[in-house]
Amino acid sequence: MSHKSGPQPASLSLGRKLRAVDLFCGAGGFAEGFRQTGFHSIAANDLDPWAGATFELNHGPHGTKFILGDIGARAVQDQLLDAVKGLPIDAVIGGPPCQAFSQVRNHDRVIADPRNSLYRHYIEMIAAIRPRVFVMENVPGLENLGGGAVRRQILEDLRLDGEYRVDSRVVDAAAFGVPQNRLRVLFIGVRTDLGIEPRFPEAPSFLELPSLGRYKAARGKSEWTYRHERSLATAKALDALLDPDDLRLVTVKQAIGDLEHLRPNARLLRKPSNEAIDYDRLPASAYQRARRGSSASLLNADVPSIREDTVARLAAIPRGGNFRDLPAELAARYLNGKKWGPELGRDNLSRKYFFAYRKLHPDHFSWTLNTKADCVFHYGCARALTVREFARLHSFDDSYHFMSGDRHSRYAQVGNAVPPLLAKAIAETVRRILADAEPAPSEIVLAAE
């Protein structure tokens, strides 16, 4: 295997079909990574009709039954259980929202908090389906909340009174070929009767990733570049990151550089375009070639319009910088006498704007994408990214389309998703767990069935 080939699928033959259930599936990034590793999602559920429509568009042709609705509703639970009735399920995957974890005090059970009903229903479905393995993905802050008390409580709840062996780990999607620093905590549980301890995806090649630092350049301006104090391990990682033919680590430009020609709409358009456009340039990196695949044209490629004051600010911000790099005259709340957005009662940009006007660095990973189009801006021209560029930075193939919902929803569908390449690494780990487990005779299903 070439050292530049990136993560590879596990070549494991289990002699049976691999079945998964996807809860809180969103637009389907988690399911996509598992699909690419040989899992078949039997059923999936989400409350968002637009994200659900995207899931059905991309996974319906593979035979997944999508169930729209609140997972707390008995009718939805019954549909999920009917879909898997009589079938041994290898994996349940999902990332339930956990709004009340930060409020845990003393020894109150997290699962009992009414604001964590979705988390509670996730556990209830695991108990009902009894998958061999489950994976729960969430924000990394859960690890340290309450001095680690939240993590301990989650582990206790997920063990289901000893039915599962469970552990957790924080991983960075960038270490698995995703061109985005995206830290996530994974809780992986393995059914106790399998006799296997939980495992986690290991970064294929590098223990340390390069990072950017802010330096003063000529005339007092700031610039962002790689930190000079690099270890040998980081230096090797940087060599791989800057190599356009190496899929192990991928920069922003290697991900979206072939789409630099796209320009903002001249006026505000509320409805996003569903029209395909031709590729304007040949792919210039292995990652671009991989994401294009056999796609003949590009969808989700219209650029949002942009305000004059945003253009002025972006021109003053170095690549890799943010609003903290702005000169005083551009840090005013309003420029050019034009007002927009809510009145904040102050003349200058506030601490609220810490993550505002972030200009991507072409030769580094993207920041973590959220649900808003303006969470990052292009490194080379004054504009936000397209939904397709969001999807590229999330490691979706160009053939994965986001055709439902308004403009905000489509960005949110991508930003909320598990990056498929990270999901693929997780799925490969689950495959290895299943391959090493002693199969229960009643659960062996011949691949020929």
Query: Does any domain span residue 8?
Result: no
pTM of the model: 0.90
Total domains in the fold of the chain? 2
Q: How far apart are CA 26 and CA 122, in angstroms?
A: 15
Residues 370 and 433 in one domain: no
The parent domain of residue 251 ranges over 218-415
Residues 130 and 262 in one domain: no
Query: Does any domain span residue 212?
Result: no
Query: Does any domain span residue 1?
Result: no
pLDDT-based confidence at residue 342 (cuts at 50, 70, 90): low
Query: Does any domain span residue 447?
Result: no
Q: How far apart are CA 224 and CA 364, in angstroms?
A: 10
First-residue to last-residue Cα distance in the chain: 32
Residues 255 and 193 in one domain: no
Residues 408 and 426 in one domain: no
Question: What is the DSSP secondary-structure string of 160-224?
Answer: TTTTEEEEEEEEEGGGGT-SB--EEEEEEEEEGGG------PPPSS-SS---EEEEE-GGG-EEE
Residues 295 and 327 in one domain: yes
Residues 200 and 222 in one domain: no
Query: Does any domain span residue 210?
Result: no
Residues 288 and 409 in one domain: yes
Q: Tokens at residue 439, please? A: 């199969």
Judge whether residue 318 has pLDDT over 50: yes
Q: Give the CATH number for residue 159.
A: 3.40.50.150
Residues 194 and 227 in one domain: no
Residues 114 and 188 in one domain: yes
pLDDT in tens, 57-77: 999 999 999 999 999 999 999
Q: How far apart are CA 93 and CA 333, in angstroms?
A: 43
pLDDT-based confidence at residue 416 (cuts at 50, 70, 90): very high
Q: How many residues does the chain have?
A: 449
Query: Does any domain span residue 59?
Result: yes
Judge whether residue 212 has pLDDT over 50: yes
Judge whether residue 98 has pLDDT over 80: no
Query: Does any domain span residue 329?
Result: yes
Judge whether residue 326 has pLDDT over 90: no
The strand pair at 212-216 and 18-23 is best described as: unpaired
Residues 324 and 226 in one domain: yes
In the residue annotation, 98 being an active-site residue is answered as yes
Which of 25, 98, 375, 381 is flagged as catalytic?
98
Residues 243 and 200 in one domain: no
pLDDT in tens, 136-164: 999 888 888 778 888 898 999 999 999 99
Residues 330 and 362 in one domain: yes
